[in-house]
Amino acid sequence: MKLAILGGPGAGKGTQAKILCGYLEIPCVDMGQILRRAIASGTELGRQAEPYVEKGELVPDEILIQFVRDRLLEPDVSNGWLLDGYPRTAFQAEELDFLLEDLGQKLRWAIYLNVSDDVLMTRSLKRSRADDTPQIIRRRIEVFHQRTVPILEYYEPRGHLLDINGDHPPEQVSQDILDVLVRQ
């Protein structure tokens, strides 16, 4: 199964990704974590991404796509994967489809965790990452509306969008998702 999980900062993407990957026995590809690791270890990609991550801005597409390609060519992801944090713009969604076509793969579901802005803010503030200050979180929510929400219009008509109420407790959210995935 090939999946992507979408949602604002604090929507529960990481939590759901972990549950779903465990249940479906597929690897999670967490873009934010990959970027933070690259920044911490001072790689070339990390150095290029750092100024954007620091401000809560999106890292330019051309920096990310090469990384996604390399990751999806690794042997552990040949039977399926869940992308967490990619795509994040309509352009990335399109670019991902081109990449997958090239690799002879297909995305089944883009799972959208639909959560109100108030809940996004409250949940994000409870985390204690360096890039989770109120100002940065507000900016990330704004960026989410401007850049990520248009992705829904890309996936919906293609029959790939799974719109899930993410305000519910985590167990119920994963059950709602699995009900659809398993029914297929």
SS3 79: coil
* Contact between 3 and ligand AMP per CB under 6 A: no
- Residue 183's nearest CA partner among 162, 167, 169 is 162
Q: Is 8 in the site for ligand AMP (CB under 6 A)?
A: no
Size of the site for ligand AMP (CB under 6 A): 16
Active-site residue flag, 37: no
Distance CA 30, CA 170 (A): 18
From 37, 106, 127, 158, the catalytic residue: 127
Strands 2-6 and 28-30 turn out to be unpaired
Q: Any contact of residue 58 with ligand AMP (CB under 6 A)?
A: yes
One residue of 2, 15, 46, 52 binding ligand AMP per CB under 6 A: 52
Task: Decide if residue 28 touches ligand AMP (CB under 6 A).
Answer: no
Q: Using the rule CB under 6 A, is 56 a contact of ligand AMP?
A: yes
Classify strands 28-30 and 161-165 as parallel, antiparallel or unpaired.
unpaired
Stretch that binds ligand AMP, among 54-62, 105-113, 115-123, 165-173 (CB under 6 A): 54-62
Q: Which of 28, 59, 151, 164 binds ligand AMP (CB under 6 A)?
A: 59
Residue 123 found at the interface with ligand AMP (CB under 6 A): no
Catalytic residue among 47, 106, 129, 158: 129
H helix and E strand count, the chain: 9, 5
Q: For the sheet containing 161-165, what is the strand order? A: 28-30, 81-84, 2-6, 109-114, 161-165
Say if CB 151 and CB 110 are below 8 A apart: yes
Chain residues binding ligand AMP by CB under 6 A are 9, 31-32, 35, 52-53, 56-59, 64, 85-86, 88, 92, 140
Q: Which residues are catalytic?
A: 13, 88, 127, 129, 140
